[in-house]
Amino acid sequence: MSLKPPPLNNDCFALPPGVDWTPVDEALDMLRDRLHPVVAREDVPVMSAAGRVLAAPLVARRANPPLPNTAVDGYGFAAATIGDAAEFTLPLVEGRAAAGLAYTGAVPPGHAIRVLTGAALPEGVDTVVLDEDCATDGAAVAFRGPVKPGSNTRRAGEDVGEGDEILPQGRMLTPADLALAAATGLANLPVYTPLRVGVLSTGDEVVPAGEAAAAGQIYDANRPMLLSLIAGFGHAPVDLGHVPDDREALRARLDGAEVDAILTSGGASAGDEDHVSALLRETGALTAWRIALKPGRPLALGLWQGKPVFGLPGNPVAAFVCSLVFARPALRLLAGAGWDDPAGYMVPAAFSKKKKPGRREYLRARLRDGRVEVFKSEGSGRISGLSWAEGLVELPDAAAEIAPGDPVRYIPFGSFGL
């Protein structure tokens, strides 16, 4: 049966009384505390589970390896039965042990058997000598001591034991995870259905790239960027297109959106043509978060027919940064993947900057020769800086004066899953 969690509460984005400017960390804490998965659970074949989010912990059905086996090609025997000498010559039993072809007999004390990599150790064998360290005439095998008991073998379950939890709930499955699941006998995995995230652009001034643009109009840079970000985050992007400054057209588009969450760009402030915020206000579930953040600041959050809506700034640079900082971890929670703070690294700065207190700042940056450099302009309209950058420098809320060589926090785009 496919089970879906309860919907979000209408007040899930509400700010505490008296809050005006919200620090970044407080905004993130509120998202982490108030959101929960909104997707259903299903079972899928392990072959189709890449990138999906586990809806329950995975438990190994059998050990890996299931039996003691040999790690190399060579000759196996029981170390305790051959004594301690500088050289050994042991008679060989007939036959061999190979991966998938177990030796059915027992190897007598003081005897050896030919074994190939991955073969289950026959009864009477606990140690293997590497092929290259042996000489044989087909009837006996000779090698030098000393012999270390257990050499070149793997214990049963030394990787994973039967019944062990191998992966936690909320894990976004990687190719390596699928190998682990399959190796421990799991053919079908419990996962959440993919989070469907709609992306909608608004505004009379916005036209799709390639169409004729009148004076005062701009091409829609946000929609292709946001759709690509959603896919990079591991969710299912849904293109909701573009609507002009027409409230009823916007209402119809939102009503018909078969998605779990929506990202909009533009129309989220309080102006006459800001219809996204106006429609959300009608539902009684609009909260305008003024984030102490540069670039960014305005972030409209609300619910439309139970679906969370993230009203991003219309500026592409601000929309990009807000998507990484706020939308990404929030969408992970909605998808069942849990909260995730991007990994950052302290590296020497290759730039100078004097920062005022009160806002956290994110600078477009990239790492070169062990130092982090920032884009030549902090202008939020400079989209070329997003393409130039390979990550962000995060500057704290407090005042700062940075000189070349000072340590700063650099977050590569890879830490955001991109």
- The 10s digit of each residue's pLDDT in 57-85 is 999 999 999 999 999 999 999 999 998 88
Percent over 90 (pLDDT), the chain: 64
Are the beta carbons of 347 and 372 closer than 8 angstroms? yes
pLDDT at 277: 67
Question: What mean pLDDT is predicted for residues 3-31?
Answer: 80
Q: Is the pLDDT score of 12 beyond 80? A: no
Which range is least confidently modeled, 184-198, 293-307, 346-360? Answer: 293-307
Residue 84: exposure state from Cβ atoms within 10 A (0-12, 13-18, ≥19): exposed
Longest dimension (CA), the chain: 94
- Helix, strand and coil content of the chain, in percent to the nearest 5, comes to 20, 35, 45
Reference 61, options 154, 173, 171, 161; nearest CA is: 161
User: In this model, does residue 317 exceed pLDDT 70?
Assistant: yes
Segments of 38-144 assigned E as strands = 41-45, 58-59, 69-70, 74-77, 87-97, 112-115, 127-130, 134-136, 140-144
pLDDT reading at 359 higher than 80: yes
Identity of residue 400: A
pLDDT attached to residue 127: 96
Q: How much is the average pLDDT of 195-209?
A: 88
Asked whether residue 225 carries a pLDDT value surpassing 90, the answer given is yes
Confidence of residue 272 (pLDDT cuts 50, 70, 90): very low
pLDDT tens string 20-62: 788 889 889 988 998 999 999 999 999 999 999 999 999 999 9
Taking residues 194-209, what's their average pLDDT? 88
Residue 282 scores a pLDDT above 60: yes
- Confidence band for 377, pLDDT divided at 50, 70 and 90: confident
- The answer to whether 399 touches 357, Cβ cutoff 8 Å, is yes
Residue 251: predicted pLDDT: 85
User: Does pLDDT of 276 surpass 90?
Assistant: no
pLDDT of residue 7: 80
Average pLDDT value for the chain: 89
Alpha-carbon distance of 277 to 27, in angstroms, equals 19
More confident residue, 208 or 385: 385
Q: Rounded to whole angstroms, how far apart are CA atoms 223 and 260?
A: 18
CB-CB contact of 254 with 348 (8 Å): no
Nearest to 21 by CA among 278, 288, 393: 288
pLDDT for res 271 = 47
Of 78, 142, 137, the C-alpha closest to 109 is 78
Q: What is the pLDDT of residue 52?
A: 95
